[in-house]
Structure 1
Amino acid sequence: MPGRHRELAQFLRSRRERLSPADFGLPVGPRRRTPGLRREEVAQLAGVGVTWYTWLEQGREITVSAQVLGAVAQTLRLDPGERSHLFTLAGVFDNAVPCEAQPLPGAVLATLEAVRPFPAYVVNGRWDLLAHNPEAEEILGGFAGVPRERLNIMWLAFVERTLDGRVVEFDAESARHVALFRAGMADHPDHPAWKRLRDDLLAASPLFREYWDRYEVSRPMVRSKTFIHPRAGRIHVETASFMINGGPPLARLVVYSPADETARAAMRILSPSPGAAVVALA
């Protein structure tokens, strides 16, 4: 049995055995030897076949749908962390988990303030903008007039075109962003919000459509890029992203740090005013 399937079998068994039949109004007879629920009881409560559930708990190679796995998770009374673990072990994406904006931990907003004047922002896996400091809005071309539901890095770059003239090697950077988006979507192939954004981008941006058709993929990494700001001039930065625990699914903090002293000096010019503050959109 492969390691992941073995872990799945052990996890399901442990969650089943911790439940009391009395919790579900089931009789507890003197002959019951199995701690917790029996497999057939879990199957009945979840509305799935006994054989199918037995094979699932045995770690066999079977087809598992998100809907059925969700019923099992609900029956076993898994908390969000346990549910996520179950879906990961089963190799199934949980469509019930939203990738929409959710409240960010206060510590993340404090970090956005603390790194100023370095531009920094927070996005979820779909590149929706969840929060940013004033320097990030300045270097990314501004978001004035953009509807809140369209505050998405992909939409800003390819439809609003806020980065036009701002990024050196714009074509290469644009192609890489589409490759990042495609790689991320592979983890959410059936999520309606992902599909809606992809379809909207394909319809609204010929450039996005061109890069999408190349079928390139990429993952976030530390790298260099150069911006040209109308007031601060040329700013050479290194980008790094950090996953955020305890916030929206797949949220990450992106920070542009200066690659040289010239860029460090230029970043001090980015703040639009002394009173400008971090903006939280989630």
Structure 2
Amino acid sequence: MPKQPDQRRELGAFLRSRRERITPDEVGLPHTARRRTPGLRREELALLAGISATWYTYLEQGREIRASEQVLDSLASVLRLDRYERDHLRRLAGHAPAAEAQETEPLTAEAAAVPLLLQPHPAYLIGGTYDVLSHNEAADQLFPNLTTATDRPPNLVRWVFLEPAARDVLVDWEPEARGLLARLRALAGRYPADPRYARLIDDLHEGSPEARTWWPQHEVQARHSGRKRLRHPQRGPVDYAYTAFHLAEHPEQTLVIYLDSTAPLTAPVPGSASVGGG
């Protein structure tokens, strides 16, 4: 798959960001006092990866050259990339097919109804660009103003970075926001031709100084489950466990459910209730 010009520049910037975070000591090179840039020099990285320094420089400059999977694996090893960063590198280098761009999210009535069935637990269904496709009342209460936008679809990323209330709700706002931005970059790398990602990233750069600062760092993450502290409107800070489920028909759509990790979980009595039974 040929790389587009913007994708070649993104590849070069990603490699440069990862090269600058590796110290000579980490790869067994002698440390010298006279270093004008952080991390490894291009020549040092090329030597460690077993490739030409000139060729690597062209790659980092975004020139129209193609790196083999063997070369990418060698670079990834020297740069100590984790598996998500390796996948991101391969996509930027054109070794994974770009997903088809789409302007709308296909949403079935059955999928839209799921968050409503999960009340009183906060739950929402988000699309690939973090547009909120469906949510329940508990999510409305926990995430104020998340779904009040009238000029565009409600969006979780815009809410976190551009809604003032988010900084109060997310007790650990900075690490949560940084992680969300890293997950957005990973998804944007899968859809380089999708204009929705470009519009969202432009909005963040225009409205958030943090997004402008963090985006050039090229962090990537995959969507995952975990824990976070959220400020409940009545109860104050609560430690929530959240679980993410990907829809089988549309894997970029994700159902996220929040459970109070301090509350006991009780299983339903067998036969007491059913949903969609036959």
Instruction: Give the TM-score of the pair, scaled to structure 1.
Output: 0.56
Secondary structure at the aligned position of 1:227 is classed as: strand
Unaligned runs of 5+ in 2: 1-65, 67-94, 266-278
Q: Structure 2: which amino acid aligns with 1:98?
A: Q
Q: Structure 2: which amino acid aligns with 1:170?
A: W
Secondary structure at the aligned position of 1:237 is classed as: strand
Q: CA offset at residue 144 of structure 1? A: 6.2
Structure 2 Cα separation of the partners of residues 199 and 170 of structure 1: 21
Q: CA offset at residue 212 of structure 1? A: 1.1
Cα-to-partner distance string for 1:161-200 (whole Å, 9 max, x where unaligned): 3312111111111111101111111101221111121112
Secondary structure at the aligned position of 1:149 is classed as: coil
What is aligned with 1:164?
167
Structure 2 Cα separation of the partners of residues 164 and 181 of structure 1: 19
Q: CA offset at residue 231 of structure 1? A: 1.5
Cα-to-partner distance string for 1:96-137 (whole Å, 9 max, x where unaligned): x415233x2233233212211110001111101111001112
Instruction: Give 1:103-122 correspondences, 5 Å limit.
Output: 104-122=107-125
CA 260–109 in structure 1, closer or farther in 2 if over 3 Å, else same? same
Secondary structure at the aligned position of 1:164 is classed as: helix
Secondary structure at the aligned position of 2:190 is classed as: coil
8 Å contact kept, 1:99–1:125: no
What is aligned with 1:134?
137
Cα-to-partner distance string for 1:25-64 (whole Å, 9 max, x where unaligned): xxxxxxxxxxxxxxxxxxxxxxxxxxxxxxxxxxxx9xxx
Structure 2 Cα separation of the partners of residues 137 and 221 of structure 1: 22
User: Of residues 173, 176, 185 in structure 1, which corresponds to 2:179?
Assistant: 176
User: Of residues 120, 142, 149 in structure 2, which corresponds to 1:146?
Assistant: 149
User: Of residues 191, 205, 208 in structure 2, which corresponds to 1:202?
Assistant: 205
Q: CA offset at residue 92 of structure 1? A: 2.2
Q: Structure 2: which amino acid aligns with 1:132?
A: H
Q: Structure 1: which amino acid aligns with 2:260?
A: P
Query: Does 2:218 correspond to 1:215?
Result: yes
Does 1 or 2 have the higher relative contact order (CA < 8 Å, sep 6+)?
1
8 Å contact kept, 1:227–1:236: yes
What is aligned with 1:258?
260
Structure 1 Cα separation of the partners of residues 256 and 164 of structure 2: 20
Cα-to-partner distance string for 1:258-280 (whole Å, 9 max, x where unaligned): 21128x8xxxxxxxxxxxxxxxx
Structure 2 Cα separation of the partners of residues 144 and 123 of structure 1: 12
CA 148–166 in structure 1, closer or farther in 2 if over 3 Å, else same? same
Q: Structure 1: which amino acid aligns with 2:198?
A: K
Q: Which stretches of structure 1, 4 residues or more, deviate above 3 A after TM superposition?
A: none
Instruction: Give 1:29-48 correspondences, 5 Å limit.
Output: none
Structure 2 Cα separation of the partners of residues 147 and 207 of structure 1: 25
Instruction: Give the TM-score of the pair, scaled to structure 2.
Output: 0.57
CA RMSD of aligned residues (A): 2.7
Number of residue pairs the alignment of both structures matches: 175
Q: Structure 1: which amino acid aligns with 2:98?
A: F
Q: CA offset at residue 236 of structure 1? A: 1.2
What is aligned with 1:241?
244
